[in-house]
């Protein structure tokens, strides 16, 4: 280790001096890439669930809109129950 005959430092010396940068910078970049990928995947799942829920709600909504039942059973039952005799 040390300097070569030309006065240059060897590759091994540079690696030993700069090992934190050579290890941690790529590790942090890989971690950020994984987090970005997981976030995009998670957002895609949420968007798909929202789309499926909207489709289900759109199909069920006409049945839910009918707040007052107008069938004879309920109208007779409410009229009879409204006036106690």
Q: Number of helices (H) and strands (E) in the chain: give both, helices first.
A: 3, 0
Residue 66 in tokens: 């009918």
In the predicted model, is pLDDT for residue 81 greater than 80? no
SS3 content of the chain, % helix, strand, coil (to 5): 75, 0, 20
pLDDT in tens, 41-69: 999 888 888 888 887 777 665 555 555 66
> Strands, E, within the chain: which ranges?
none
DSSP-derived letter for residue 8 is P
Sequence ranges of the domains in the chain: 11-82
Return mean pLDDT, the chain.
Answer: 77
**Helix locations, 18-71, DSSP H:** 19-65
């Amino acid at each position: 280790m040390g300097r070569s005959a030309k006065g240059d430092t060897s590759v091994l010396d540079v690696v030993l001096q700069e090992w934190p940068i050579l290890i941690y910078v790529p590790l942090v970049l890989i971690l950020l890439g994984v987090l970005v990928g997981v976030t995009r995947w998670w957002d895609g799942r949420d968007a798909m669930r929202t789309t499926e829920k909207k489709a289900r709600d759109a199909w069920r909504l006409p049945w839910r809109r009918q707040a007052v039942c107008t069938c004879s059973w309920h109208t007779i039952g409410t009229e009879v129950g409204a006036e106690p005799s």
